[in-house]
Amino acid sequence: MIDFSAAEFVRDPYPELAELRKESNPVWHEGLGMWLAAKHKDASAVLRTKTLGRIFTPRDPETQWHEFNWLHSDSILDSEPPKHTRLRSLVGKAFSRSRIDSLKPEIERIAGMLLDKAEVKLNTTGTFDLIADYAEPLPVKVIAALLGFPDEDEHLLRPWSQAIVKMYEVNPSEQAQAEARQAAHEFAEYVRALMLQRKVTPGDDLISELASVEEAGEKLNTQELIATCVLLLNAGHEASVNGFGNGIVAALERADQSQLLRTNPRAVTDTAIEEFLRFDAPLQLFERTATQDTQVGGITVLEGQKIASLLGSANRDEEVFDQPEQMDITRANNPQIGFGAGIHFCLGAPLARLELSASLPILFERFPNIQLAEEPLRRDTFVLRGYEKIIVLIA
């Protein structure tokens, strides 16, 4: 059975996931204490079946995990109807598609500014880090501006986020747990202070709007508003950073794919983004819990049991994708489920796609001869899969 913490598996999980897909049904993993749905049809069914809920289990002791627990239990991601319906409706009114679409000029401006700084590094050192200098700061700056975080505080956000999301891994260390508790406390208190300030002097930022948004007499309470802001920052940039980094490395390692991006990046941007998310998914595993005995994929998930949708495996299912182990940024038929499905389909997916569609062509138009300068450094995580460092040069 798969060892999800093994270094070799974390480096490249796809061979073992391919073996898992050979099983006709989801399989039970004794170590994780849950079912694993590896095929596309089963992973999709797990996400769409209403009796498989996203049920957050508070961590004990409550005194140590207080903020961490309610940051999750009061968020859209870890709640189910009717609470999920109310939260998503209220947040959706503020985080609307029109608001997201209006960000495109600002995203392009930020991308250009970051590439200007990267060019200075190129001229002085000959290289720059595609993660630290471009892929990471861009979505952080976008979501920070959207929420109205002061520019001088941006450096706090990514470390808080990374500390919290490490708890989504299968076996977080004691140090990771301590860092997550501290980050949850600091992040919650930071957003609380901003929220109180915006209630007195509201602006045109998302925190101000979330504090005032109302539907059928319902509003977000304090904990729900803070949890929403933290979730938007965490989820709102992890997919962009990791999806971009994973896809760029895969493309640069394949001459035929990188040539398409060098020649006419805007012609392939839309399909390239979807292929980035399919080929090396930024989110690999998403848990659900049975609220009653539930049939899925030919097995019964008993009430209280967990089942995981293995998104990265599903996105390489041989029964759904033609030559799934091959990267093809012109792939037209691409029903990838990297952003999930069902009621928990990623609220930030339109923003992530907008960020990727703006930042990808600008990068190759500015640096058409970009290439890897050394072996990229992977993060040592599986659930949230990405790179720590991608050093590039211009040939």
Residue 233 pLDDT greater than 90, yes or no: no
Mean pLDDT, rounded, of the chain: 93
- Tens digits of per-residue pLDDT, 255-277? 999 999 999 999 999 999 999 99
Q: What's the confidence (pLDDT) of residue 216?
A: 64
Alpha-helix runs per DSSP H in 201-281:
206-212, 222-252, 255-263, 265-279
- Tens digits of per-residue pLDDT, 74-121? 988 888 898 988 988 888 887 788 888 999 999 999 999 999 999 999
Q: Is 207 exposed, middle or buried (0-12, 13-18, 19+ CB in 10 A)?
A: buried
- Tens digits of per-residue pLDDT, 15-59? 999 999 999 999 999 999 999 999 999 999 999 999 999 888 888
Q: Which of 31-35, 109-113, 235-239, 291-295 has the lowest mean pLDDT?
A: 235-239
Kindly state the tokens that stand for 155. Answer: 């450096």
**Contact yes or no for 244/171 (Cβ under 8 A):** no
Q: What's the confidence (pLDDT) of residue 62?
A: 66
Residue 385 pLDDT greater than 90, yes or no: yes
Give Cα 90 distance to the centre of its chain.
22
Q: What is the pTM of this model?
A: 0.92
Residue 224 pLDDT greater than 70, yes or no: yes
Bridge-partner residues for 371, per DSSP? Answer: 393
**CA–CA separation, 390 vs 379, rounded Å?**
11
- Tens digits of per-residue pLDDT, 148-193? 998 899 889 889 988 998 888 888 899 999 999 999 999 999 999 9
Q: What's the confidence (pLDDT) of residue 343?
A: 87
Q: What's the confidence (pLDDT) of residue 310?
A: 98
- Class of CATH domain 59-280+341-394: mainly alpha
Report, as an integer, the average pLDDT of 357-365: 97
